[in-house]
Amino acid sequence: MKSPVQLYLRVRLPDGSYPYLRAAFAANGRLRPHHAIHSGRATEFPGASYHLRYRIGEKRVWEPVGKDPILALTRVQQKVRDLQHVNDDGDDIVPQVVADAAARTSLTAEQPKPPLLLNEAIKEYLAEVKTHRSAKTFAAYRTTLFLFSPDAAKEAAKDTQVKIAGHKRKESTAKITRQFVNKPLADITRKDMLDYVEFLKKVQGSVPRTVRNRVDFFQIFLHHYGLPSLLIGKDLPQYTEKKVRAYNPSQLAKLFAEATQDEADLLHFFLCTGAREQEAQFVCWTDVDLELKTYTVTEHLDLGYQPKDKEEGSLPIPDVLVRVLKARRERYPQTRLIFPGKGGKPNGHALRVIKRLALRAGVNCGQCRNKAGKSCATHPVCRQFVLHKLRKTFATTLHHKGLPAQTLQRYLRHSDLDTTLKYIADADDATIRKTINSTFQGFESYAGGTR
């Protein structure tokens, strides 16, 4: 059913015109920020403003909602709810919408509308995120909001009688506890946000990228309730964009040399499929066809798994992985999952496996320290060894061997090519030198000139 509210961008075209263009969405249904449909294709219009289009009776209405794409989507949802206040018998929508607007803007003293308090909003929002988003996303928002309001975390722990992330140990609770009054959500200020940033940096010891992520998550929470971003421009925490790095052949050789058979199987799967952590955690034998040599990312609702962006996808797998998986099937003929944990349940400890392997293989950098002060020279805490780097190694290796970026985008199941390009690391200097020499080898006969 077509939504009664449509989202548009108002853009400035090269011919000087200033039209409304329909906002562009990716194939997975996500809004493409600042993209609109122009001449039949999605085109980026940086800085363009979003507008809602809907009807009240016979009148078409254009309503500006700002430049923030997340806030624009939130306003679409709010407007749809407003317009759904139509009588079942088909009465004109105008009186109802006007009445709703009046009810929101002119509350009497006898019937005041109580303000939504921060902790109530957090509880309500997390319940919704837990229902509709992945467990990993829920954990990220929960930690962000509980760090902002420790009282909300205590209330949640009391309600559920479970230990909350960031509050598992008494000593860590003492470190993170900060005073924050449970004020109305709409009364949170820019200063509150700046204080939160300072807390994350100085008390939590969070790295710049983590601080920025926490701020972004909190502001998305505000947008959910129709509130604007409190930190914009120079107020936003800055971080250094890390250069994409893939594992080099020397590192991989040392990892495989030290790996047990099960660890080597897991490494091969990540490197040969570019799988995400949860995809490897929930991959079943029915997801691979060892005769056709394909792997399909598949939904397994009974295991509590849905692919990212609710999108399945297939890709060919190399002969080496086929041989590895056939040998593994002979060792584990009864399991449903390819990499099961204890009791045949999904194994969520792949990162721990890789970090422990890196320590045994002697490839840790020796410079990393975690928050407990442990050094990666003697503990499995090196930040150089993460699962996502294996996905980037997969992408980089295939692209440098000639696979087109558009095909790689499909294999990685990305909604846009820009994301895929971020996964491709530069070639090393030796490879670049070899390419340069072979490219210009034919010029050697001209080195002495022609006269």
Say yes or no to pLDDT of 170 above 70.
Answer: no
For 363, the domain range is 249-388
Number of domains in the chain: 3
Specify if 350 maps to a domain: yes
Q: Yes or no: say if 11 and 23 are a contact pair by the CB < 8 Å rule.
A: no
Is residue 414 a part of any domain in this protein?
no
From 368, 388, 408, give the residue that closes a domain: 388
**CB distance 96 to 86 below 8 Å:** yes
Residue 141 shares a structural domain with residue 213: yes
Q: What is the CATH number of the domain that holds 208?
A: 1.10.150
Let me know whether 214 and 300 are in one domain: no
CATH number at residue 370: 1.10.443.10
Do 64 and 189 belong together in one domain? Answer: no
Q: Are 220 and 72 in contact (CB under 8 A)?
A: no
**Alpha-carbon gap, residue 429 to 388, rounded angstroms:** 23
> Do 302 and 180 have their domain in common?
no
pLDDT in tens, 221-279: 998 888 888 998 889 999 888 777 899 999 999 999 999 999 999 999 999 999 999 99
Per-residue pLDDT tens digits for 53-99: 988 878 888 888 888 888 888 888 888 877 775 434 444 444 444 34
How confident is the model over 327-343, as pLDDT tens digits?
999 999 999 999 999 98
Residues 214 and 269 in one domain: no
Yes or no: say if 194 and 235 are a contact pair by the CB < 8 Å rule: yes
The better pLDDT of the pair 86, 211 is held by 211
Yes or no: say if 271 and 390 are a contact pair by the CB < 8 Å rule. yes
254, 371: one domain: yes
Residues 206 and 259 in one domain: no
Statement to judge: residues 127 and 224 lie in one domain: yes
For residues 176-203, average pLDDT: 86
Query: Per the domain annotation, does 431 fall within a domain?
Result: no
Residue 136: inside a domain: yes
Q: Which two tokens stand for residue 449?
A: 């000139």
Of the residues 333, 354, 388, the one at which a domain ends: 388
> 101 falls in which pLDDT band (50, 70, 90)?
very low
Evaluate whether 316 touches 294 at the Cβ level (below 8 Å). yes
Q: Is residue 428 part of a domain?
A: no
Q: Residue 448: is its pLDDT beyond 60? A: no
Residue 96: DSSP 8-state: H
Is residue 261 a part of any domain in this protein? yes
Euclidean distance between CA atoms 392 and 413, whole angstroms:
13
- The band of 46, judged by pLDDT with boundaries at 50, 70 and 90, is confident
Distance CA 447, CA 75 (A): 66
Helix H or strand E segment including 70: helix 69-83
List all residues 6 or more positions away from 57 whose beta carbon is below 8 Å from its beta carbon. Answer: 92, 93, 94
Question: Residue 105's pLDDT band (boundaries 50, 70, 90)?
Answer: very low
pLDDT at 121 over 80: yes
Instruction: For residues 382 and 357, give the distance between their C-alpha atoms in angstroms, rounded to a whole number.
Output: 11
- Find the mean pLDDT for residues 99-124: 64
Considering the domain architecture, whether residues 218 and 329 belong to the same structural domain is answered as no
* pLDDT tops 90 at residue 282: yes
pLDDT value for 417: 87
SS3 (DSSP) at 249: helix
Quote the mean pLDDT of the chain. Answer: 83
- Global pTM? 0.63
% of the chain surpassing 70 pLDDT:
83
Pair 78, 192 in one domain: no
Chain-centroid distance of CA 65 in Å reads: 25
Of the residues 67, 85, 103, the one at which a domain ends: 85
In a domain, 451, yes or no: no
Q: Do residues 363 and 265 share a domain?
A: yes
Q: Which of 401, 396, 397 is nearest to 420 (CA)?
A: 396
Residues 310 and 346 in one domain: yes
Is residue 105 assigned to a domain? no
